[in-house]
């Protein structure tokens, strides 16, 4: 993990597009001294390093979630959820069935069965 470039600070930091690395506490000072304003990339890097999800970042920036996800992927940053990196849903669930469909794949048998159960339960209620 990288550390903040600010004099004597040892907090974890996120790399900025201008090559400096600062923790959240020192970014405002850095921008005041350099005259730079935060760019979208800088804010996405910062919030991602703080554990914010794409949805939370999108809400703060007023962007669509998909736009933030695209930015984050282009920056090579990991996906972060509420409890850490986002795990793929295992096969055999209705959400995995929908994942197969989103990715243009033919759903596997366990996922088809799970979706059939979900649809049956929904019709019954």
What are the chain's domains?
14-85 (1.10.10), 94-124 (no CATH)
Which long-range contacts (C-beta less than 8 Å, at least 24 apart) are formed by 18-27? Answer: 24/50
pTM of the model: 0.40
- Cβ(77)–Cβ(92) below 8 Å: no
- φ/ψ of 3, rounded to 5, equals -115, 155
Mean pLDDT, residues 40-44 taken together: 81
pLDDT for 83 beyond 50: no
39 or 121, which is more confident: 121
pLDDT for 114 beyond 90: yes
Rounded Cα–Cα distance for residues 115 and 97 (Å):
7
pLDDT for 26 beyond 70: no
């Amino acid at each position: 993990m990288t550390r903040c470039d600010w004099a004597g600070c040892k907090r974890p930091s996120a790399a900025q597009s201008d090559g400096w690395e600062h923790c959240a506490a020192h970014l405002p000072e850095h921008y005041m001294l350099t005259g730079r304003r935060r760019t979208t990339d800088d804010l996405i890097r910062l919030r991602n390093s703080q554990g914010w999800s794409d949805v939370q970042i999108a809400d703060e920036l007023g962007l669509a979630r998909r736009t933030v996800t695209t930015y984050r992927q282009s920056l090579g940053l990991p996906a972060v959820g509420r409890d850490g990196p986002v795990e793929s849903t295992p096969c055999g669930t209705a959400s995995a069935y929908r994942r197969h469909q989103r990715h243009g794949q033919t759903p596997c048998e366990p996922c088809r069965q799970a979706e059939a159960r979900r649809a049956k339960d929904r019709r019954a209620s």
